[in-house]
Amino acid sequence: MNKGEEMGKELVLLDGNKAYTTTLIVAEGCKVEHRATMQLLKRHQKTETLSTFEMLKVSRGGRPIEYAKLDEIQTTFLITLMKNSVPVVAFKEKLTNAFFKQRQTIANLIANRTPDWQNIRKDGKQIYLQKTDIIKEFVEYATNQGSKNAKMYYANLAQMENRALFFFEQKYKNMREVLTIKQLMQVSTADDVIDKALQEGMNRGVSYKECYELAKERIVSFVEIIGQSPVLALELKPA
């Protein structure tokens, strides 16, 4: 998670194949002050379990707040150091279930990454690089037409595409890493649709806003054909 990124509603998050939570989430779940949670963490930093953790920052209320990123063992140990109040006990149960669910997610993701998946993912990365070149050209095009925030189109186009194609149970650091083979193929096609729409608009000399709308219209039309699909990374497979 990058500096300044806000916490989502999930209790346990994924970073690649690793599940983690944060002191912000723990403090909120246990109904204690975050400052007290950080003090408790640092007070026991000499223990082997809590000797190493990643410190990050998030902006809240216009000021930066430091928080720690913790794995399952670190989180479990930290919470055992707290008094077993009603909120703490309730949060322990929720967190235990959340870590279990994410372990299943990771297992599913690893099982999904077959040689075929890896080949399609590799091809998709090449298409994405080509798309990035087109977007770079589009950003320059928009800037030349007076856009003050043209660089935002890198994120805006990606968000527009993802929201059109999929609906999610949670946020993902790298969404394409949790997609199925079929979804990866759909994304590659959608990338190509956006490329062609932006290029067409620029070739016609229309405004950069019209180029974006053209790309959006084409993606909407594409999704009307293939249908929106869920990103089911959290779906538990039957034993």
137-186: pLDDT as tens digits:
999 999 999 999 999 998 899 889 989 998 876 666 666 767 777 888 88
pTM value surpassing 0.85 = no
| pLDDT tens digit sequence for 85-128 | 999 999 999 999 989 888 877 776 666 666 766 766 666 566 56
Domain extents in the chain:
13-110, 113-231
Question: In this predicted structure, what is the pLDDT of residue 3?
Answer: 37
Of 183 and 36, the one with more pLDDT: 36
Please give the mean pLDDT across all residues of the chain: 83
Quote the CA–CA distance of 77 and 52 in Å, as a whole number.
13
36 has pLDDT over 70: yes
Query: How far is Cα 20 from Cα 122, in angstroms, rounded to an integer?
Result: 27
Per-residue pLDDT, 113: 67
Query: What was the pLDDT predicted at 209?
Result: 96
Chain-centroid distance, C-alpha 118: 20
Those residues with Cβ within 8 angstroms of residue 114's Cβ, 6 or more apart along the chain or in another chain = 181
Which contiguous run of DSSP H or E holds residue 135? Answer: helix 115-144
- Assess whether pLDDT exceeds 90 at residue 62: no
What is the C-alpha to C-alpha distance for residues 178 and 83, in angstroms, rounded to an integer? 37
Where residue 232 falls among pLDDT bands split at 50, 70, 90?
A: low
Residues above pLDDT 90, as percent of the chain: 52
Q: How far apart are CA 126 and CA 120, in angstroms?
A: 10
